[in-house]
Structure 1
Amino acid sequence: MENILKNLIHIAKKAGEEILNVYQLDFKVEYKDDNSPLTQADKNSHDIIVQGLKKISDYPILSEEGKEVSFEERKNWDYFWMIDPLDGTKEFINKNGEFTVNIALIYKNRPILGIVYAPALDILYYGEIGKGAYKVQNGKEEKLPISYRREKNKIRIVASKSHLNEETSKFIKNLEKYYDTVETTSIGSSLKICLVAEGKADIYPRLAPTMEWDTAAAHAILNAAGGKMVEYKKTENLIYLKQLPELKYNKENLLNPSFVALRADVF
C-alpha cells in the first residue's frame, strides 16, 4: 500500500495545482440541480484524479462530479475509490483558502485510507488504518495526533461556518454540563475533521446534511489517528457518544446521517 499512498499524494497535489490555477482567475460559477455550486476547478480536479487513479488500480471510482452509479452496481463493490475533487466549493468561491482535495479508499463500507490536501494552505493530511495518520506542512511531517496540552475541564469544538444550525447550537450548549470552558472555532471543508485528528480540536458535531464523499477521506485519517466518527443519536447524555456506531459508506442513499467526530480521549 506504500507505493499506492505515494501515488495518491502525487495525484492530490497535481489536482491541487490545477485548482489553484483556476483559483487565481476570474472564474464562473454554475449551479447543479441541488443548487450547490460548481466551478471549472471542480471539473478539472475530477479529471486529473480519475485519470491518475485508473493508472494505479482497477478499483471502481465514485466521485461527486462523476456520473451517478446505481446502487445495484456498486453494492457489490468490496474496494472502491471515493473522491471529492473540490471539497468546500463555497470556500473556494469566497477565496478563503479552506478547501480541499479528498481521496479515500473504501473497503466493505469503511474508509481505510484517506488523503486530504488543502492546496491554498499547502497542508496535506493522510492516514491508513493500522499504519497511522500524518500531517505534512512546510516540508515537516508529524504523526497524528500531535500532542497538544489539554486544559482540565475545557473542550475545544470545531464547527461549520455555513451550517451552524439550531440543533448544533443546542449540542454545543449541552457540553457546558460536562466542561467549565467550551471553546468554539470554525473552519471550512473536511479540514474540520482533520483538526480533530490532529488534536487541535476535541469534537466536531455535524448535525446537518453531508454526502459520503465529503467525509470519507478525513474519516479514514481520523480513525488512523485513533479517533471516531459516529452516527449521532439525539441524547442528553453525551458520555454515550463513543458507544455509537461509526459512519458507514456505499449506502443506497449516499447522504450521511448527522454525525460527531471525536478524539479518542474525549469523555
Structure 2
Amino acid sequence: MATAVLTLPSDIIESVINIASEAGRTIKSIFEQGQFEQHTKLDDTPVTSADLAAHQLIYQSLTQLTPDIPILSEEDADIPFSQRAQWSQYWLVDPLDGTGEFIAGSNDFSVLIALVQNHKPVLGVVYAPMKEVCYFARSGHGAFKRQQGQDTQIHSQRQGEILKVAVSRRQDPQDVLKLFTKKQDVELIRLGGAALKSCIVAEGQADCYVRVGPTGEWDTGAPQVIIEEAGGKVLDIDLKPLTYNCRESLENPNFIVVGRNQWNWAKLLGI
C-alpha cells in the first residue's frame, strides 16, 4: 500500500539546502585535489568517487531527516518498479549532475535534490559548489537564487526579440537548431551541466534549454520545481509534461525547458 503523503514543515528546504551544500563541499574538495577514481557504469556513463561520496552523504542525511521517505538516487536506482510504484512520495537525487564536466575539469556541475509527491516534483534544490550558488524552490512559494548569503527571487520572463537557447558544450548545435523553424533567429548559449542550463532559463538569462539525448528523471526533478516556480515549464519535445516514476524506465524523453510562456513554442518548434 502506498504511504500517505506527509505535510512537511516549511523550513525543511533549509535542511535540504544544507545537505546539498555539504555534498557540494565534498565534491569540491575532491575536484580541487584532482585525485579521483573513475569507472564506467552498465549504461556506458561515467561515475567517479566524487559521485559516490556525495551519494553516500546525501543518502545518510536524508534518511536521518525523513526516515519514512524512500530515496531514489542515480547511484542507487536499481529499485524494481513494482516497489517504486507503491511510493506516493520520495526523494529524487542526482549527487553530481555533470559528471562529464567534473572529469573534464569544468566548473559546470551541481548537486540535485528533489522531493516528488504523487508523480510531481514539489521541492527542488540545485547547488553549484564551484560557484557557491544555490537555486531552490517549493511549489507555490516562488523560486530563489542564493549567492553570498543573499536570496533573490528569480523569474524566467526574459525580454528581447532573439531566442536565446541554452545547449550543452558537448552537443552538436545542429541537433538543437534543426528543431526550430527559424534558425537565423536563434542564439546559442553553451554551458555544461543539465540542471545549470535549466536554472539560467529560470533566472531569465536564456529563453529555453533543449536537451536531445539520454537523461534520467533525477536530472530534471529539482530543476523542474525551480523553473515552474519562476514562471516557466519543462516539457517533452511534443510539449507534453514530463512524468515521474510512472513506468519501469527512469529515462526521460528529449525535452525542452521554456521560460517565456507567452511565446508560441509549438510554432517555433514546427509542431
Q: Fold match, TM over 0.5?
A: yes
Q: What is the one-letter code of the residue matched to 2:240?
A: P
Deviation above 4 Å: which 4+ runs of structure 1? none
Pick the aligned partner of 2:190 from 181, 186, 189: 186
Cα distance in 1 between the residues matched to 2:41 and 2:156:
39
The residue that corresponds to 2:258 in the other structure is 262
Q: Determine helix, strand or coil for the equivalent of 2:242.
A: coil
The residue that corresponds to 1:121 in the other structure is 131
Q: Determine helix, strand or coil for the equivalent of 1:48.
A: helix
Q: Displacement, 1:52?
A: 0.9
Cα distance in 2 between the residues matched to 1:67 and 1:249:
13
Q: Determine helix, strand or coil for the equivalent of 1:12.
A: helix
Q: Percent identity?
A: 37
Given that 1:212 and 1:256 are in contact with CA atoms closer than 8 Å, whether structure 2 keeps it comes out as yes
Spell out the pairing of 1:195-214 with structure 2 (5 A cutoff): 195-214=200-219
Given that 1:133 and 1:144 are in contact with CA atoms closer than 8 Å, whether structure 2 keeps it comes out as yes
2:98 pairs with 1:88: yes
The residue that corresponds to 1:9 in the other structure is 17
Question: Structure 1 residues 146, 197: CA separation in 2 closer, same or farther (over 3 Å shift)?
Answer: closer
Cα distance in 1 between the residues matched to 2:77 and 2:207:
36
The residue that corresponds to 1:36 in the other structure is 45
The residue that corresponds to 1:247 in the other structure is 242
2:223 pairs with 1:218: yes
2:61 pairs with 1:52: yes
Runs of 5+ unmatched residues, structure 1: 234-243
Q: Displacement, 1:169?
A: 2.7
Question: Structure 1 residues 227, 94: CA separation in 2 closer, same or farther (over 3 Å shift)?
Answer: same
The residue that corresponds to 1:138 in the other structure is 148
Cα distance in 2 between the residues matched to 1:66 and 1:211:
13
Q: What is the one-letter code of the residue matched to 1:64?
A: E
Q: Determine helix, strand or coil for the equivalent of 2:263.
A: coil
Runs of 5+ unmatched residues, structure 2: 1-8, 265-271
Given that 1:132 and 1:225 are in contact with CA atoms closer than 8 Å, whether structure 2 keeps it comes out as yes
2:170 pairs with 1:162: yes
TM-score by length of 1: 0.89
Q: Displacement, 1:181?
A: 3.4
Cα distance in 1 between the residues matched to 2:197 and 2:189:
9
Q: Determine helix, strand or coil for the equivalent of 2:171.
A: coil
Q: Displacement, 1:147?
A: 6.9
Q: Determine helix, strand or coil for the equivalent of 1:24.
A: helix
Q: Determine helix, strand or coil for the equivalent of 1:255.
A: coil
- Deviation per residue, 1:202-254 (Å, 9 max, x gap): 01111221111111111111111121111112xxxxxxxxxx32101113210
Q: Determine helix, strand or coil for the equivalent of 2:14.
A: helix
Given that 2:156 and 2:232 are in contact with CA atoms closer than 8 Å, whether structure 1 keeps it comes out as no
- Deviation per residue, 1:84-112 (Å, 9 max, x gap): 00000011111211000000001111111
TM-score by length of 2: 0.88
